[in-house]
Amino acid sequence: MTTEIAFASRYDLRVKLVRDVLKENTKLSDTACQALAVQLLHTMDTIPEQMR
């Protein structure tokens, strides 16, 4: 019996988390939530650590 395990990077997991929060709390489409999640994470990742 073999099982396939799909690899998900930490970044992918973070995008999914943000996307799910956006989907639950807005009326945006799945595509819009995905795009906004990527933009939000990129913005947060570029903020210097001392300012976070």
Q: List b or e across 8-27, with b for residues whose CB sees 16 or more CB atoms inside 10 angstroms.
A: eeeeeebbeebbeebbeeee
Residue 1 pLDDT class (50, 70, 90 cuts): low
pTM for this entry: 0.80
The whole-number pLDDT of residue 3 equals 79
Q: Which amino acid is at 12?
A: D
Smallest CA-to-CA distance from 17 within 32, 2, 38 is with: 38
> pLDDT tens-digit profile of 10-48?
999 999 999 999 999 999 999 999 999 999 999 999 998
CA distance 25 to 46: 25
